[in-house]
Structure 1
């Protein structure tokens, strides 16, 4: 295995997508000699993701013991644990108020499950995305208080809900906020606000700002059990098994696109083990509905399980996710999982229509740093997904807004690119009076806007983020972890690469470059996927597929190639187990001329 760091991978300085191929870390030029190099490949993958050589063992199999901080380091954590413990021991009515997405559903399910194990039947409230929008509703909080709730715990929302939480306080109900979204300098009135992204957090707690809300909820679970233990609560009852909650933490973390480094890696790695046991009835039903027979991997959480839970909140009934994840009835779980799968298919069709209309608006926005797209009739439940698609297509932060002609307002969802903090910009726009509501984190944000403010809002974002977007895009390149010939593309290689997972934001899945190859066959399959059969000089061939790429320059070049032309191909390797024997295939992301 050769090692050099300065040259382009396979000499590619400009690919068909206009990018140079650079080594992510130290070069791994393996040819087809990957056999026996597993340890070297694994070490290089970890070090290229920022792991010191002496910490390789810790990161190879990330455990809770190695990464878990003391929950007491977080502001208001002890206050929150004490208040919930007091409610438990005094028999107060507790309600969990969750968001309607996967992070909200898993966070709510985690606390409901935990409280159930502690002998408390907690209620829950999940707002309707279309009727109530994001975040705690003051009217809903007051109504819950009137129905007898003494304590309300909001999860994955509340950090910026000043008005709603003021109404709750005036109604005499205590509210604990468990969140991870960006906070303003002035915090809303609460009994406790646990959020690593508080501006007044300690350095150690702030270093966990990448946690999803479900990760923060898990830390609260630890603090609560510890508080109850000190009060002697477990002298006559069994302590709950907190590790059994990690399947929920893993699902919420990956589905919310939280950065998979540090503690999140341990959450997901250990949570996948819990998930594989299928102990949670709702999770087992969700795996069955997703047709997953093998042990799930991190990407399954983001592409199979998460979208189904999200479909309930996007276009169906917002409580379906929590009901599925907390039920003890196998038949109910099966019915809900099937309903979510059907809703997910419906969501796909709606999403395709909105995406087509949104892409039509891109004409004339080439000079804008942030794509702001808006129209009446777009379903608010899919705008976040479409914003992500537009971001991928343009390489710029994108915001998609569904306008309500009757209200004169729009609800929007945005997705950003690495190096551009969209959440902070949305909060700044709100403080400037351009938004009715808004918040989020670096990579994703939500907002409510008066239609009349759309031009000023778009101009504000362009002015504020133009330099950041310019810097981020100027540095765009494709980072490669490994180069090899087709003979090295084997199932054993895929297994070796998976050993450095779990992968996600902040811990990117390995990308390989294969070449030189000639294209034996190239065609379009499905609606717009490019399928390629490529062969190398070593006599070995493999299949590659590029999803939603039919109209790209790469696809058109490969489809209409000269028979004598050779290429380098780059992407991520996966196992194709449809045939009689598992084979490695390339999920193609880019290509370049080899001669």
Structure 2
């Protein structure tokens, strides 16, 4: 059933969240495709996500063969592979220097596992978030050299580490940087710097700027194996099975909220297959600790597995993630996974306290294009999560800054930001750093981190307003709820969900299909859990279904569902998911928007 009135899906020009409902991809309506069959529905889903007719087969089933580029297209890739090959052949001592989040942990674990397969025995170094902060420390790099490492590979960090890499160079330590964060026109001194977001990249390589660091590390591994193959290294030894490491690539890609199109979609699609085999002892233990009773799906990487590894870097021991993902000891893996699970519970409590305090300041930011909230004593390990929540609540980019007393008594803030589509927060923070408003800073379009002195906060807020106000206004006024399929309640069947999922995996840049269902009346609406609104809806066709609007209790949408729907029919928009708690699988709707039906 397709309903289009005056160009709006279901006639919704102004929903309860203030959005117009439009077909995704313009005029692509999947309703007719649904009637034609599942294959045609998948075709329409791919078309609405920008896939050309000529490229349909490749995207229908994303494989590594179909999407993996030649690594040599990336600047410095050959230099990096040459230097690593030299180190493997000469049995040099090496250290992998990672970041403390999931992308950093998976990138480091992947490089460690590849080098072990090649006969090397690399060490690893993960900085402490509180004591050392983000990025390579010059003191740490020099110390690693003094301890014997002639080569250090930084992963998920280093693109802006000018001073640290200068110190390493002066100490005779070669550093290869493997990163994906934004770069400046002047690059730091390194043996090689592999990053698809270098400003001097060719167009073909720059098209892969959406890769997470773990994806870049995988490409370097491919280049390294190719170098060693050319030098006859595998004449008497087996080549490493790099495809077996795609479970790590998938986890880091999804948990870092990298856009799931092109190569990333192939990484995740194939990586989930590898993960289902549970060959990685640490990942297997983490799946058990997450209480998953089935093979992980894409959303589990972002909401179950990723947060547990992140908890180590946020409030625990930063090396736990890498240790878990590289161990071959099941007992050690189970012990670390249980520790990560406990840290994740602790993290939730700390996060709730900071979020409550941040929300108390939100009203004072109503006239700002970018929300910048600071608090003394806040735990810097949770500010990124809170920034994401505040962004959703405010509908604008948000930066949360944890202020701490510096060694000299001055207040210094560690900040983390999250943005909305169309507003590049990473570039703005880099510009603020270049203007002398922040001490350190960088990131990418949707996320950024910084260090700032307390006395610069007001000037920083003004700078962001001046730079980003037009982008924010443009992004907010063009907000729509995009719909892939409209149907009556009776159409919410498990077979439909299976068809929709077959066009996945879904994530940022490759959004999960959103369906419009209705019109319905609400039979029941109540609050469960942490402010979730649960409903039972009934349609004119006699069908009923369950739905839930997450964290919606205090929103206009939630209040309307709870109190304003008596006797009124409503259209619901959201994601159709399988509810397998009962004896017979049914479909529930994860409600994201709603509108009154006349």
Short-chain TM bin = over 0.9
- 1:450-465 map, 5 Å: 450-465=453-468
Instruction: Please say if residues 573 and 585 of structure 1, whose CA atoms lie closer than 8 Å, have aligned partners that are also in contact.
Output: yes
| TM superposition outliers: structure 1 runs of 4+ over 3 Å | 1-6, 26-31, 33-36
Q: Which moved further from structure 2: 1-10 or 218-227? A: 1-10
Q: What is the CA–CA distance in structure 2 between the aligned matches of 1:63 and 1:579, rounded to whole Å? A: 35
Aligned-pair CA distance for 1:3: 8.9
Of the three residues 565, 570, 580, the one matched with 2:568 is: 565
User: Would you say how many aligned residue pairs link Structure 1 and Structure 2?
Assistant: 594
Residue 486 (1) aligns with residue 489 (2) = yes
Query: Shift of residue 364 of structure 1?
Result: 2.2
Q: What is the SS of the residue equivalent to 2:254? A: helix
Shift of 1:575: 0.9
CA distance in 1, matches of 2:92, 2:6: 64
Alignment correspondent of 1:442: 445
Q: CA deviation at 1:561?
A: 3.1
Q: Is the 8 A contact 2:30 2:45 kept in 1?
A: no
Q: What CA distance in whole angstroms lies between the structure 1 residues aligned with 2:469 and 2:332?
A: 50
Residue in 2 that maps onto 1:28: 29
Change (3 A) 1:394 1:156: same
Q: Does residue 1:38 correspond to 2:24, yes or no? A: no
Corresponding residue of 2:431: 428
Residue pair 2:5, 2:11 contacting (<8 A) in 1 also: no
Judging changes above 3 Å, is the alpha-carbon distance between structure 1 residues 206 and 6 closer, same or farther for their aligned structure 2 residues?
farther
Aligned residue in 2 for 1:231: 231
1:251 partnered with 2:244: no
Contact 1:177–1:194 (CA under 8 A) maintained in structure 2: yes
Structure 2 residue 416 is matched with structure 1 residue 417: no
Q: Give the equivalent residue in structure 1 for 2:136.
A: 136
Partners of 2:112 and 2:122 within 8 A in 1? yes
Tell me how far apart the structure 2 counterparts of residues 562 and 242 of structure 1 sit (CA, whole Å): 54
Match of 2:383 in 1: 383
Task: Specify the alignment match of 1:530 in structure 2.
Answer: 533
Q: Distance in 1 between matches of 2:172 and 2:364?
A: 52
What is the distance in 2 between the residues matched to 1:4 and 1:78?
A: 53
1:177 and 1:57 map into 2 onto residues whose CA distance is 35
Deviations 1:327-380 (A, max 9, x none): 000011111111111111111111111111111111121111100000101100
Aligned partner of residue 131 in structure 2, secondary structure: coil
Q: Deviations over 1:362-419 (max 9, x none)?
A: 1121111100000101100000000000111111110000000344201000001101
Worse overlay, 153-162 or 550-559: 550-559
In the alignment, what sits opposite 1:510? 513
Q: In 2, Cα distance between the equivalents of 1:47 and 1:124?
A: 44
State the Cα deviation string for residues 52-94 of structure 1 (Å, max 9, x = none): 1222211111011111111001111010001011111111100
Distance in 2 (CA, whole Å) between partners of 1:346 and 1:573 is: 32
Q: Is the Cα contact below 8 Å between 2:95 and 2:152 reproduced in 1?
A: yes
Check the 8 A contact 1:3/1:29 in 2, yes or no.
no
1-structure distance, mates of 2:142, 2:155 = 17
Q: Secondary structure at the match of 1:362?
A: helix
Question: Do 1:517 and 1:535's aligned partners in 2 also have CA atoms closer than 8 Å?
Answer: yes
Deviations 1:223-254 (A, max 9, x none): 00000001111011100001011001000000
User: Which consecutive unaligned segments of at least 5 residues does structure 1 have?
Assistant: none
TM-score (ref. length: structure 1) = 0.98
Residue of structure 2 equivalent to 1:335? 335
Query: Relative to 1, partners in 2 of residues 1:533 and 1:3: Cα closer, same or farther, differing over 3 Å?
Result: closer
Give RMSD over aligned pairs: 1.4
C-alpha spacing 1:476/1:327, structure 2 compared with 1 (3 Å): same
- 1:5 CA displacement: 9.7
Return the match for 2:524 from 521, 524, 528: 521
Aligned equivalent of 2:400: 400
Is 1:171–2:171 an aligned residue pair? Answer: yes
Contact kept? 1:400, 1:414, Cα under 8 Å: yes
Deviation at 1:27, TM superposition (A): 4.4
Instruction: Please give the alpha-carbon distance, in whole angstroms, between the structure 2 residues aligned to 1:386 and 1:265.
Output: 27
Deviations 1:406-445 (A, max 9, x none): 4420100000110111111110000001111000011100
Q: Does 1:19 align with 2:19?
A: yes
* Cα distance in 1 between the residues matched to 2:181 and 2:28: 37
How much does 1:189 deviate?
A: 0.6
1:68-147 matches, cutoff 5 A: 68-147=68-147
Partner Cα distance (2:539, 2:250) in 1: 39
Scaled by the length of structure 2, the TM-score of the pair is 0.98
Matching residue of 1:302: 302
Spell out, residue by residue over 1:438-479, the C-alpha distance to the aligned partner (whole angstroms, 9 max, x if none).
000111000000111000011101100011111111110100
Secondary structure of 2:519's match?
strand
Residue 476 of structure 1 pairs with residue 479 of structure 2: yes
For residue 562 of structure 1, report the CA deviation from its aligned partner. Answer: 4.9
Q: State yes or no: 1:10 paired with 2:14.
A: no
SS of the residue corresponding to residue 75 of structure 1 reads coil
Q: Following TM superposition, by how much is the alpha carbon of 1:29 offset from its aligned partner in structure 2, in angstroms?
A: 6.4
C-alpha distance in 1, partners of 2:372/2:143? 36
2:187 is paired with a residue whose SS is coil
- Which of residues 540, 544, 547 in structure 1 aligns to 2:547? 544
**Structure-1 separation of matches of 2:6 and 2:575:** 22
Correspondence list, 1:273-312, <5 A: 273-312=273-312
